Structures are given as C-alpha cells and as structure tokens.
Amino acid sequence: DTGVSQDPRHKITKRGQNVTFRCDPISEHNRLYWYRQTLGQGPEFLTYFQNEAQLEKSRLLSDRFSAERPKGSFSTLEIQRTEQGDSAMYLCASSLGSNRPQHFGDGTRLSIL
C-alpha cells in the first residue's frame, strides 16, 4: 500500500509564471484534499474532491487557483500568475470516506522569486 505521492517536491519559479502540481492519492481512496501550509502555521484547507467532483473550495482559493481530478484518480493544482504570497508548502491528502483519517503526502514546496 503506497502512500500519497506528490510531484514535484520543490518548485522554484519567477513571479508571474504558472505552476502545476500533481497528487496521486492512496488507491481506492475516494476523497482527495489540498491544503497550504506556511512557515510556523498549521495546514489551511484549499479544496477537496469526492471522486471526480470538486465539492468544496476555500475562500483562500482565488481565481488564480484551479484544481482538477479527472477520472477520480490523480489530481492537479494549478496556480496562474504566481505571486510572492503563494510561496508555501502545498499538501495533498486522501481518505477513504468522510471523517476518516486523512493521509498526507510529503508536499510540494513552492518558492516564488
């Protein structure tokens, strides 16, 4: 049973560029979550999917952010026109059903130059 996998581990980009992150959940987990974590803080919820349906989006998720989960398997999170404030660790988690423990990936650390 492999865990949640995220790619890339690190991403450095210039302000204004677009970036895309990928998350592969634990197989048979139908729920997939994206969180953002900044230094010294707990993770903050961004959005989540049940299978391929995006069921909730946080107010933190501006129009520059979009997430997809085609076919209910892997998910991608895209940030367009990146800003300095987007620098953070982006965490993906998956779970088997609602209110079950969420299992997290190692995250993608985004640094904006």
Partner 1 sequence: AQKVTQAQTEISVVEKEDVTLDCVYETRDTTYYLFWYKQPPSGELVFLIRRNSFDEQNEISGRYSWNFQKSTSSFNFTITASQVVDSAVYFCALSEAETGRRALTFGSGTRLQVQP
Task: List residues binding partner 1 (CB under 8 A).
Answer: 31, 33, 35, 40-45, 48, 55-56, 58, 89, 91, 93, 98-107
Q: Which is nearer to partner 1, 36 or 82 (CB)?
A: 36
Nearest to 88 by CA among 50, 40, 18, 25: 40
Distance CA 79, CA 71 (A): 21
Query: Minimum Å distance from CB 14 to partner 1?
Result: 24
Burial class (CB in 10 A: 0-12, 13-18, 19+), 97: exposed
Q: Which is nearer to partner 1, 22 or 103 (CB)?
A: 103
SS3 72: helix
Q: Which is nearer to partner 1, 3 or 16 (CB)?
A: 3
Distance CA 64, CA 95 (A): 26
Query: Minimum Å distance from CB 104 to partner 1?
Result: 4
Query: Minimum Å distance from CB 89 to partner 1?
Result: 7
Query: Minimum Å distance from CB 12 to partner 1?
Result: 17
Q: Which is nearer to partner 1, 40 or 85 (CB)?
A: 40
